[in-house]
A and B are shown apart, each in its own frame.
Chain A
Amino acid sequence: MRVSSVFSRDHKVVGLQYGITSLLFLLLGFTLILLIRWQLAHVGIAAPWLARLVGQTNAPDGIMAPEFYNQLGAMHGTIMVFLAVVPLAVGAFGNYLIPLMLGAPDMAFPRLNMLSYWIYLAAGLVMLTSFVLPGGAANSGWTSYPPLSIIATTGQTWWLCGMFLLIVSSLFSSINIITTILQLRPLGMRMMDLPFFLWAQLVTSFLLLLAFPPLQGAAILQLMDRVAHTSFFLPTGLMVSDKMLNVSGGGSPILWQHLFWFLGHPEVYVLILPAFGIVAHVISNETRKPLWGQRLMVYATLFMGFMSFLVWAHHMFLTGMGPTMSAFFQVTTMIISIPSVIIVTGLLLSLYGGSIRFTVPMMFALAFLPMFGLGGLTGLPLGLAATDIPLHDTYYVVGHFHYVVAPGTLFALFAGIYYWFPRITGKKLNDTLGVVHFWGSLVGMNGIFLPMLIQGLAGVNRRLYDGGLSYPHAAGLAHLNTGQFYSAIFLGVVQLVFIGNFIRTLMKRRDADDNPWGATTLEWSVPRPHDAHTAIPFTTAARYDTGVSNVTLGFWLFLASEVMLFGAMFSAYALLRVSADSWPHGRSVLNTTLALVNTSLLLSASVPAWLAAHKAFRPNARAVTPLLATSGASALVFLAVKLFEFRTEIMAGLLPRTSTFYATYFTLTGLHALHVVGAILATIWILVSARRVDTAMTYGRLKCLALYWGLVEIVWLGILGAVYFA
């Protein structure tokens, strides 16, 4: 295999790389849960094979250590959600199929596409490597709640670094998908002409773009707590093992919940929307008729995407947020169930009057409907505070979520794999083995998740190392753990059938015709082999209906994600400040004169950048160069002044760990300064590359630089007002 094909920019190669990698992560995540289920069914029973498999440290004398059990739980959730299902649903299916469904040669930004995959792989490897560190992998649950995650072993730091990389990868991917769908549509293809699959991918990408940055901000704050010993998430007077934690305090563990769930809930729709898209595609083809009410389903998807940003605090009813806010989030949560019902109803009605073919992909798609329905309906009580409070943190939540994602999303992904496998390989997966895989998975998954709902309703808490044996109310249901263990084993055996079918089919000679399902959508019209990569022609021209060029749209999307990142940081500032017992006035403890000097320096950096991007200077390279040089020089002086300010404070003993105020000050201004560094590097790059590229391209880059400076300026004014002068 050539290096060029490994580091390919071809969307098909990148899609396959995402697909294979995420399937391997899926297998790994499933293996971890087999160990968890074994532990819950065999509490206190020594198993020599376990010590050999995971080492004496993790299983002394063959009995799983509680710390290792916690690692398995945290990493199972992380791997399944962030490294397996989302990359498979969006990275693999999205990258491979979107250009084909649009009739486009590639994604809008092929290099960015390649980069997103490699950063994703690096993120996964960073997280996996943490298993071999002293203390093992992250062990604070997939939600990484503080204070536990702050005092956890080194694996948590690696988890945060991996998550940071994963968010960068996700950002690149979502910018690419949105730009591709909006900009690379064939001329004349209106938005409402798009297949529902593309609408689902489009809204999913918006969710990824806007929901992930707040978690990125939260990860930065948690890293600061762990590495720089700040107290963003640590309250005053925190006792650990009967000892007062030696930190400044003044932080709030609720802040993490607030920022985590701002991602966490849209993430549920990130998991489910691509599944809707795949199921809709398969159902439409296998019933031989168009979807019922596609336009209505599109509007429902858009509404769901919008509302998914306004429901996150229903995960926080137990924090004591107060009845007013609780009522608001209960109402929004009930409202968001409406579009889900519309979509599922549309899919169900699409079956009516159809000439249904019960193929393997169709069986998975059909099973998706009741399984997702069960997951959705069991979620309703969790959206109401009165019922959520007793059910919170019980196995009921685990059962509900798994019904949405496992026999829900995963069934849709399996439907997609069986359906598009011939399109990708020219070979069709064996039907008999597929049917065995389907029925086995349906039985196995229900055998695991249905008892969880019973356990949860009985009040059995999740994350119990002994499965509840130490609690009288839970011990009576411990026998269910044994059934769940054997169901998990059965499910694993059935997945081996799928893996065998997958490998066997890949190894045999091509046997399928180009379109075994008789599909009529655009992705099947490209004649195989379509492995030749057609580079996408670069253009700086604006598209007639969107009014922007690819690069401009992509950059606006990037800026939107940056706004969300800083929005989350200011949100954190608001929480810490308002809930603090005392908070110093910035103007009395910080050097406001230097801050005003820096404001003028930033203006003298951003104004020349805006002028350079102005049409008046467009053909005049001689005028642009000194403007950019002035901009870069002013930005450098800004950084020098900022460093001087930092140095003065540090010399005076005022460190990020001194108080939450200084932690906020250093983190906000430091993050902003990093953005100024980014602007300087971009300025140098534009200046250096201007000789090699045409004027139109340089002009496009200058416009992006000017927009970026606008963001940096606005953020600085926010910091100036909130931190220095408020």
Chain B
Amino acid sequence: MIACAVCMQAQSGAAVSGLHAAVLTLVVVTVVVLAGFGHFVIRVARRQ
């Protein structure tokens, strides 16, 4: 991997793809969980 991705325009490579996959997985899980909380918050707001 190239140390400075921004300078060197490194976009490919297995390691970079792996990190992208990991970040995407965690973002999806986090957004789903937070959406669940959001749903709960809206429910509470409507009941108040």
List the interface of chain A (C-beta within 8 A of B). 182, 190-191, 206, 210, 214, 252, 254-255, 258, 262, 306, 309-310, 313, 317-326, 385-386, 389, 544-547, 560, 563-564, 567-568, 570-572, 574-581
Contacts and interface: CB of A to CB of B under 8 A. Distances in A.
A258 B16 CA distance: 12
A393 to B, nearest CB: 12
Given A323-B9, A574-B18, 15 more contacts: A306-B34, A309-B30, A317-B6, A322-B16, A322-B20, A389-B6, A546-B40, A560-B33, A563-B29, A564-B30, A571-B25, A574-B21, A574-B24, A578-B17, A580-B14
A572 B32 CA distance: 18
Nearest 8 Cβ contacts at the A-B interface: A579-B18, A567-B29, A575-B22, A320-B1, A578-B18, A574-B21, A571-B25, A571-B26
A322 B20 CA distance: 9
A313 B4 CA distance: 14
B29 to A, nearest CB: 3
Contacts of A321: 5, 16, 19-20, 23
A310 B27 contact: yes
Contact of B47 (A309, A545, A574): A545
A560 B32 CA distance: 10
A376 B11 CA distance: 31
11 contacts: A321-B16, A321-B19, A322-B19, A560-B33, A564-B30, A574-B21, A575-B21, A576-B18, A578-B14, A579-B15, A579-B18
A544 B47 contact: yes
Contacts of A385: 5-6
Given A323-B11, A560-B37, A190 B17 contact: no
B26 A545 contact: no
Contact of A325 (B3, B8, B20): B20
Contact of B11 (A191, A254, A322): A322
A722 B2 CA distance: 30
Interface residues of B, number: 38
Contacts of A313: 23
A567 B30 contact: yes
A571 B9 contact: no
Contacts of B47: 544-547
Residue among B23, B37, B40, B44 having the largest count of chain A Cβ atoms under 10 Å: B23
A570 B25 CA distance: 7
Contact of A563 (B2, B8, B22, B33): B33
Contact of B22 (A546, A560, A571): A571
Contact of B48 (A214, A317, A545, A560): A545
B26 A214 contact: yes
A571 B29 contact: yes
Contacts of A262: 26
A579 B14 contact: yes
A260 to B, nearest CB: 12
A320 B8 CA distance: 9
B5 A326 contact: yes
A501 to B, nearest CB: 42
A668 to B, nearest CB: 14
A547 B43 contact: yes
Given A258-B22, A310-B27, A571-B29, A323 B6 contact: yes
Contacts of B19: 254, 258, 319, 321-322, 325, 575, 579
A23 to B, nearest CB: 33
A620 B25 CA distance: 43
Contacts of B16: 320-322
A210 B29 CA distance: 11
A254 B37 CA distance: 30
B29 A317 contact: no
B44 to A, nearest CB: 5
A551 to B, nearest CB: 16
A324 B15 CA distance: 15
A677 to B, nearest CB: 24
A324 B20 CA distance: 10
Contacts of A578: 14, 17-18, 20-22
A322 B18 contact: no
A688 B11 CA distance: 58
B37 A320 contact: no
Given A385-B6, A567-B26, A545 B44 contact: yes
Contacts of A319: 1, 5, 19
Contacts of A190: 48
Given A545-B48, A574-B18, A322 B5 contact: yes
B31 to A, nearest CB: 8
Contacts of B21: 574-575, 577-578
B25 A567 contact: yes
B46 to A, nearest CB: 9
A489 to B, nearest CB: 39
Contacts of A323: 5-6, 9-11
Contacts of B30: 210, 309-310, 564, 567
Nearest to A258: B22
Contacts of A324: 11
Residue among B9, B15, B36, B40 having the largest count of chain A Cβ atoms under 10 Å: B15
B5 A320 contact: yes
Contacts of A182: 44
